[in-house]
Amino acid sequence: MILVTGGLGFIGSHTVRALLDQGEKCLVVQRNARPLPSFLDGEGVVVEQADVTDRETLLGLGDRHGITGIVHLAGSYPWQPAPEAAVEATRRSLDGLLNIVQAAQEWGVRRLGLASTIGVYGGIPHDRPLREDAPLTLSAPVSIPTFKKVGEMLGGYLADAADLDIVNYRISGTWGPLGHSDPFFAAPALVHAAARGTAPDLSGLMGPAHAEDGLDLNYVKDTGRAIALLQLADRLNHRTYNVGSGRATTNGEIAAAIRKVVPDARVDLPAGGGAPHMVFDIDRLRQDTGYRPEYDTERAAADYLAWLRAGNAR
């Protein structure tokens, strides 16, 4: 049985689906109670409500379930905490990570996977595909890549010191069912607007959106499958893997794919956005798991729109 923290969330639920498709059973740990997504209902999923920062409760799960692996996707990093809360928020984030590693050690799991992000590559040139062995900067402008860099370094130390198989997933921009508006790319807002028949609300983006803006975008079903393949691989040759599509997808491509389904969608964006796109080199992932993305932009947009038009809220 594979423990998936945050397993009812966006990427987590699709990772659980992919693990089930590989014949695994899953224990899902979620801090806040929520219903199972429809595509997991009735499957081999056990749900426990727990907070990974509560060490006693977390470790107690091993007494009730035969856990053989852990996929840690729960986001326990602080996001813009008030100044007076920053230290305690940081403590909780580190406690969550250390509790998960302790659980992996005590339960003797085969592999522990830790979610990281494409954001760790911020601040380095990206005029060519980004490789996992690229030297990273020691700083980041926002909390997520900051804590992911720290997590990767701590994970590497603990893997060696505690003799654990700990693997980092550097996850690219991800979109699809159960997703939400993202501050770093426009695709979710464009799809939701097309499904509603409204103009997109792009006010939550960190900067203006242009048609030629692009990023390594991966459809969430592919992201979940890649993580499942990494978790279940007999042998991995590296500690860190890029999880993405291996290509840039521009806002213009997203808009064109949406119009294949919704011809009158109001998804026009101004021209511009010629800066180099952040794109992953995914050779490690391909070579060690056989992974290939199954969803191109058109298939992904059509699938996402169908999900939303079927009455699903996200």
Residue 151: CB partners within 8 Å, gap ≥ 6? 97, 114, 116, 168
Quick one: 144 and 252 in the same domain? Answer: no
Quick one: 154 and 131 in the same domain? Answer: yes
> Tell me, what's the pLDDT at 76?
63
Quick one: 239 and 304 in the same domain? Answer: no
- Residue 289 within any structural domain of the chain: no
Quick one: 191 and 258 in the same domain? Answer: yes
The answer for 294, left when phi > 0, alpha when psi is -120 to 50, beta otherwise, is alpha
- Residue 314 within any structural domain of the chain: no
Is the model's pLDDT at 100 over the cut of 90?
yes
Residue-wise pLDDT for 172-197, tens only, equals 999 999 998 888 899 999 999 999 99
Greater confidence (93 vs 232) lies with: 232
> Residue 17: which of 180, 226, 167, 233 has the closest Cα?
226
> Tell me, what's the pLDDT at 78?
61
Total domains in the fold of the chain: 2
Residue-wise pLDDT for 44-66, tens only, equals 899 998 999 999 999 999 999 99
Is the model's pLDDT at 164 over the cut of 70?
yes
pLDDT band at 266 (very low <50, low <70, confident <90, very high): very high
Q: What CATH number has the domain bearing residue 61? A: 3.40.50.720
Quick one: 166 and 84 in the same domain? Answer: yes
The answer to whether 29 and 62 are in contact (CB under 8 A) is: no
| 43, containing H or E segment | none
The answer to whether 266 and 202 are in contact (CB under 8 A) is: no
Quick one: 238 and 253 in the same domain? Answer: no
Q: Which residue pairs from 285-288 have beta carbons closer than 8 angstroms and sit at least 24 positions apart in sequence?
A: 285/226, 285/229, 285/230, 285/241, 285/242, 285/243, 287/237, 288/230, 288/233, 288/235, 288/236, 288/237, 288/238, 288/241
- Average pLDDT taken over every residue of the chain: 93
Q: 243 forms bridges with which residues in the sheet?
A: 171
- Residue 288 within any structural domain of the chain: no
pTM of the predicted model, to two decimals?
Answer: 0.95
| Domain span holding position 235 | 2-173+219-243
Distance of alpha carbon 281 from alpha carbon 55, whole angstroms: 37
Q: Letter for the amino acid at 267?
A: V
Quick one: 20 and 125 in the same domain? Answer: yes
| 59, containing H or E segment | helix 55-64
Residue-wise pLDDT for 193-216, tens only, equals 999 999 999 888 888 899 999 999
